[in-house]
Structure 1
Amino acid sequence: MITRSTRLNQVAYDIRGKIYEQSQALVQQGHQVLSLHIGDPAPFHFPVPDHIVERMAAHLRDGQGYGDAIGLDEARAAIRAEYSARGIKGIRMEDVYTGNGVSELAMISLQALLNDGDEVLVPTPDYPLWSSAVHLYGGKCVYYRCDASSDWYPDVEDMERHITSRTKGIVLINPNNPTGAVYPAEVLQQIVKLAEKYNLIIFSDEIYDKILYDGAKHTSIAALNTKALCLTFSGLTKNYRIPGFRAGWMVISGNVSAARDYIGGINLLANLRVCSNLPAQYGIKAALEGYQHINDLIAPDGRLQQQRDLCYQKISQIPGLHCVKPMGAFYLFASIDLPKFNLNNDYEFVYTLLTEEKVLIVQGTGFNYYRDDHFRVVFLPEAAYLETALDRIASFLERKRVSKAISVK
């Protein structure tokens, strides 16, 4: 019998896990499944900016061969200018890397760092790429709390309580997936002080940094930091609605001089993969310097904002569900009063909802949340689709509701 590596024992991606596989089986049987489970804009008819695609198409032949391991010069220069304008100081061209999405760069950055048993502080809930990558490379995830009672902001005191001599870094996801929280500068400043105090690397996943609602302001934590090493990640996937191009980037800033050996490890791994998708890199300059269509989508009358409002309103109206209004990204992370519906945990809720109502969402424990009474909804679908799916959730819960009526004799 051929078995898989034991390094995969703690690696999971429930967004495409067993419940997703069951949804695909239902589709094969002829059922229509309403999918609110993954942050992919393409199936829901979001326009891809023409000038980005045209720029990439015009340079397809220029992308036939291998490119530089850390990226195309014009792409990296545009990224450098973008982040310098955000207030991140001292960025050099060699501090900017392109990759096949943030996923690849996140994995490279952790692989180059971790020895067996090293610890990384990861939020709970988290986006499971980060926890899985830590486990995959022999590290240990130590979870710090983010709770609805504080608008899903990181609990910095809890973060500090978990720091040991083996702690190597802190993962931030801001704006956050799955909660939609956007962290205020005051919280980020506290985290910077913590990183400086304990000589920790900050890994800041900012892939949703332009998807903001109700006047929310995004601050790159690297702009507040000079003494700690900071790795900032983003790309074309979400802001520009082009996940299939696999065009991401990473900017290294802060105390670069103290991290030469670590950065050398990143360069080694970048060279081993030879280069990232070269044709897609030609779209980066056009994206960052061109018209920002995302601003139309997040305006008060924009499609994303309207769908966010619809989703929040309908979820909030269902007795037994509670949520914080998301201020960024395109997810809503809600709690469910399980006993009210005679349900044991979030997995049972999500699985039964799929089998009975043909609506696919993701259980909160799929994001390593420490409680089993939450779920994530994606509000990318058009309003009519979204409304139908949310009405099915309401109908399902109404059927499951346990009566609190007491008969009087």
Structure 2
Amino acid sequence: MKSERQWDIKVSHYAQNTINPIRQVLENLNASPNPNKKLIPLSIGDPTVFGNLEPNNVIIEAMVESIQSNKFNGYLPSNGIESARKAIAEYSSTNNVQVDPKDVIITSGCSHALEMAINVLAEPGKNILLPRPGFPLYQTLCGGLGIGMKYYNLDAEKNWEIDLDHLEAQIDPSTVAIVYNNPSNPCGSVYSASHIRSFLEICEKHKVPVIADEIYEHLVFPGHKFTPIASLTQEVPILSCRGTTKRFMVPGYRCGWIIIHDKQERFGNPIRKGLNNLTHRIVGANSIVQGALPKILKEIPDEYFQDCISLIHANAKICYSITKRIPGLTPIMPTGAMYIMVGIDTSYFPELSSDLHFVERLMSEESIFVLPGKMFGVNGYIRIVLTVPSELLIEACNRLENFCLRNVILPSNQQQNGQPPTTPAKPLPLPLNLRESVKVD
């Protein structure tokens, strides 16, 4: 008997609404590199792209030992093996926070940790507060599930601190969590302990738990300090999401973790059980990396981390120094992470209608690829990645300067006040003592 059913295959709501804003913009980018100039990509936060930030030898040795031991070839407990969870607990403990291995869940990268944290706390009809500017993946993870998204502003005039009044105004009875990111992507900001305490006071007042994206932990510049949010509260329950991607320079290893901080047991058994249930979706994270974690987290010398930070900090000073002198651009000096946000005053560039248009033209004319602020929820900015070799960053910044000076038209009041002419400055050379010579005022 012939079936009357017709072919009618539909995409699922989950797939249709799982949208990565970065990929969405990139796929519709109306620009190609200038064929006469080498492309310099300053867009994606992968510190391994140029090969100047390599993993420490301890990581390589640990991975080889893990493989050769033949102990980690099979399925492991879905929440992670005891030795790896114990190593993470010891690595993450401080004088103010003692982490128990039972409070650690190993995930397939920090992105997976964030996904699990969101999934366990939210569902359709509820909402989560997200930072703006913020990492676009937060939207991706919420959108597919039909979770409501509300945004709280970060204040550029205060080095991207949280606008606490705006944050509090966004909380409503359906708010089930606040996503908090420190150090920040895309802003490169690092919050002071006093600012974090003020944030936590609001969370405690309104009884809202925190999903803390702390993947850039300890990746802060001299004179600043990373303060784990869990070290400053006894009351607010926190799911801290971290991993090896950024500090250890191995994003491809896909190793992350959630640390459950719940001193008053407000999450209770249902949240813990829910998180463990969610680990069954992938039947556990990479076993070889878990086998290597104890050695990786204990034996890498501090000098390695300091060298990585010194390179990124030097690049931040270079980029800030050059972009600060360009008419129409206002850089905000970062204090950590791997990025700098540069403001664009479009009144200086009347032919460039938006930050996206600016990025497209920059790509077409100078083969420099940066990301527009639009991708992170704000207009009038570009984000520049700082993990490239210094000589390439200088070349990129000089090309950016030349591009701006070709396209700038100074406002009439500045022309009358004798502002400098719009001719390209002499490219900044790369002196041997570059990192000491570039000053930030």
Q: Secondary structure at the residue paired with 1:127?
A: coil
User: Match for residue 295 of structure 1?
Assistant: 306
Partner residue of 2:150 out of 142, 155, 170: 142
The question of 1:398 aligning with 2:409 is answered no
Percent identity over the alignment is 28
SS in 2 for 1:171: strand
- Report the equivalent of 1:111: 119
Deviations 1:139-173 (A, max 9, x none): 11111110111110111121111110000111111
Q: 2:363 aligns with which of 341, 354, 365?
A: 354
Counterpart pick for 2:288 among 247, 269, 279: 279
Name 2:216's counterpart in structure 1: 208
2:63 to 56, 64, 76: 56
For residue 2 of structure 1, report the CA deviation from its aligned partner.
5.6
Q: Residue 176 of structure 2: SS of its match in structure 1? A: strand
SS in 2 for 1:121: strand
Provide closer, same or farther for how the CA distance between residues 30 and 106 of structure 1 changes in structure 2, counting only shifts above 3 A: farther
Residue of structure 1 equivalent to 2:77? 68
Amino acid at match of 1:92: D
1:8-19 to structure 2, matched below 5 A, reads 11-19=18-26
> Do the aligned partners of residues 381 and 278 (structure 1) sit closer, same or farther apart at CA in structure 2, a change above 3 Å counting?
same
**Partner Cα distance (1:183, 1:50) in 2:** 32
The alpha-carbon deviation at position 63 of structure 1 amounts to: 2.2
Counterpart contact for 2:66–2:289, Cα < 8 Å: no
* Contact residue 225 and residue 254 of structure 1 kept, 8 A: no
Preserved contact between residue 326 and residue 332 of structure 1 (Cα < 8 Å): yes
**Aligned residue type for 1:159:** L
Q: Match for residue 263 of structure 1?
A: 272
Aligned residues: 401
1:405 & 1:159 partners in 2: Cα distance? 38
Q: Secondary structure at the match of 1:275?
A: coil
Match of 1:187 in 2: 195
* Letter paired with 2:392: Y
Normalising to structure 2: TM-score of the pair? 0.85
Report if the CA contact (8 A) 1:204-1:231 is conserved.
Answer: yes
CA distance in 1, matches of 2:359, 2:145: 30
Residue 231 (structure 2) pairs with residue 220 (structure 1): no
Which 5+ residue runs of structure 2 have no aligned equivalent?
A: 1-7, 417-441
What is the Cα deviation at residue 110 of structure 1? 1.0
State how far apart, in whole Å, the 1-side matches of 2:353 and 2:60 are.
47
Cα 1:405–1:148 change in 2 (3 A) is closer
**1:233 paired residue among 241, 257, 266:** 241
SS at match of 2:211: strand
Tell me what 1:244 maps to: 252
Higher Rg: 2
- The aligned counterpart of 2:45 is 39
**1:180–1:377 distance in 2 versus 1, CA, 3 Å:** same
What amino acid sits opposite 1:367 in the alignment? Answer: F
What are the superposed Cα offsets for residues 185-235 of structure 1, whole Å, 9 maximum, x if unpaired?
Answer: 111111222222222111111111121113201100111122221011111
Over the aligned positions, Cα root-mean-square deviation in angstroms equals: 2.3
Asked if the contact 1:102/1:249 (under 8 Å) is kept, the reply is: yes
Structure 1 residue runs without a partner (length 5+): none
Q: 8 Å contact 2:190–2:335 — kept in the other structure?
A: yes
Tell which deviates more after alignment, 165-174 or 78-87: 78-87
Instruction: State the distance in 2 between where 1:42 and 1:261 align.
Output: 39
